[in-house]
Chain A
Amino acid sequence: MDHTGHGEHSFKDLAQLDQNEPSWESALIGFVVIFLTVGLFFLFWVGLFRLSSS
């Protein structure tokens, strides 16, 4: 890698950057899935308190 970030790697690298990587649509779906999973986990955890007090 050269210090400017350009040079020998520049466009060859950039073309390969997205190879075998998920698209922005997958990233959006991924965000929803991660958010919902953590949200459900949090609800489950909050629910534990209701159960423990009843």
Chain B
Amino acid sequence: MTAILWPLVAVYLVVVVGIGVWSARRRVRTYEDMTVAGRGVGPFLIGCSVAATWINGVSLITLTGFGKSFGLSAYWHMGAVGIGTLWVGIYLVPRMWKLRVITTPQILERFFGPTHRLVGLVVAMLRDFAATAGTIGATALVASTTLGISIFEALVLTYFVTVLYVTLGGMWAVLVTDTIQFFIILLGTGLLLVVSIQGAGGLGGVVEKVDDPTLFSATGDFGALEIMGWFSVAFFLAIGYQTLAQRAFAARSREAARRGFIYGGILAVLWYIAPALLGVTGIALFGKEMEADQVFLNLTNEMGGPVLGSIIFVSIMSANMSTLSSTISTMGSNVTVDIYQRFIDPDAESGRMLWISRISILLTSVLACVTYYYIPYLMELFLAGGRIVGGSLAPVLIAVMLFPSMRRKGRTVLASLTISGAAVILCQILSPRELKAGTSFFVWGFVDPVLVGVFISLVVLVVGSRWEGRE
């Protein structure tokens, strides 16, 4: 496979770096060009980029494993983010776009004040830091095993190149490369799906060989309650995901933002069928004994052949790099706008801000890489950050965007953010392993921390706004 793989990888890396250089020379003049592509992007780029941001190598490998373990119902685990994206696109994005902000924490200051912004910043950055550090590891591991190179060399090939094109071309480079990456992912997974199902004797052959009706039912072994739990967790995570919201801020108009999110949501709703189906097809081809995490890689090796195998490897690399580029770009924006411009030098001129945003991207990227390798136990904290976004930031965003009266209830909103955030952290610490891994939402009396956070947020927002309204 290596003979054809290396040239493909080389072409891909040259193209993405080329886009970074092109964006830097032709598109990036100010820090707004860097962070939100000068607010000049159309719905097509936004839609493809939204879908590519959701799909990463972890979703390909892990969700195919879920498909093998839980059957077609594994779809709800991530298909829900497609529904969340569609809903956010239609009901929250148009209002968010009108605020003309660059980051999500800025929204909180627009309505309330700097304290709200700082709390929102910590939560949002924890999530992006977790996503970055987690994806760095997954990307390097896949590249190192497939290409037969060391982890360090794999890091240079994937992470260094990603950081390079984001630092050069900012959001423009992210959006254009995301779009290319989305089509590579679509080609890779689509072809693998077709050859795998054909290899198992068509859809009928898959059903016959698997011979387990629960794997083909809409709710699987777990039943509707568990499926709804998965759904709710993914839905709220989608709403609070600031990397996604930043694509809306980059849109050239309110309508472009709305349509971009609708396209991206539909693409995600449809694409997430692929891993669940690949998982079930894996059972038909290799039997039930195979380790869940091995199914995707085995399908690639056994069914793909040299050419398709190489395309699929490049598609896994693309999926990871598109997620990485998005999260490091957003973290760079947070440091530039929410920290440097807000608290250090509010009057910095545009040229200086442009360089500050490039340095911020570099610094946060290096920090994420170092954290992953030298202090991996901090990952637990960052993963909790991902859940705080779903359990604490998402309900607040829904409240302030859809309920105008909430925009005058600053203390209630701050209480909701902090109390539900603390509850999510506590639950994350106490949770059994199955909940931490996200393979279950209800174990031994524990409910997923995101749902605990959403419930507490709801109570605090309702009770607090009534109490604050009486004063």
Contact = CB atoms under 8 A, between A and B. Distances in A.
Partners in one complex: yes
Interface of A: 1, 3-6, 9-10, 13-14, 16-18, 21-24, 26-27, 30-31, 34-35, 38, 41-43, 45-46, 48-50, 52-53
A3 B207 contact: no
B217 A53 contact: no
Contacts of B86: 34
Nearest to B109: A5
Nearest to A53: B207
Of listed A31, A45, A49, residue having the most chain B CB within 10 A:
A49
A49 B283 CA distance: 15
A13 B100 CA distance: 10
A35 B235 CA distance: 11
Interface stretch (B169-177, B364-372, B401-409): B401-409
B90 A30 contact: yes
A48 B90 CA distance: 30
A20 to B, nearest CB: 9
Contact of B216 (A3, A34, A49): A49
Interface stretch (B59-67, B91-99, B137-145): B91-99
A52 B209 CA distance: 13
A21 B218 contact: no
Contact of B82 (A16, A38, A49): A38
* Chain A contact surface mostly: helix
22 contacts: A3-B346, A5-B106, A5-B107, A13-B110, A14-B407, A21-B94, A21-B95, A22-B90, A23-B402, A24-B403, A27-B87, A27-B402, A34-B83, A34-B87, A34-B90, A35-B83, A38-B79, A42-B76, A42-B79, A48-B203, A49-B203, A52-B204
B117 interface: yes
A17 B341 contact: no
B18 interface: no
B346 A17 contact: no
Interface residues of B, number: 42
**B-side binding surface: helix, strand, loop or mixed?**
helix
B75 interface: yes
A4 B109 contact: yes
Contact of A17 (B98, B114, B204): B98
A46 B72 contact: yes
A50 B79 CA distance: 21
Given A10-B110, A17-B99, A31-B87, A3 B341 contact: yes
B455 interface: no
B273 A6 contact: no
Contact of A30 (B91, B106, B204): B91
Nearest to A46: B218
A42 B272 CA distance: 11
A9 B304 CA distance: 56
A6 B109 contact: yes
Interface string B186-218: 000000000000000011101110000000111
Considering the complex of A and B, which 9 residue pairs feature the smallest CB-CB distances, nearest first? A53-B207, A5-B110, A52-B203, A24-B402, A5-B109, A27-B91, A52-B204, A49-B216, A3-B341
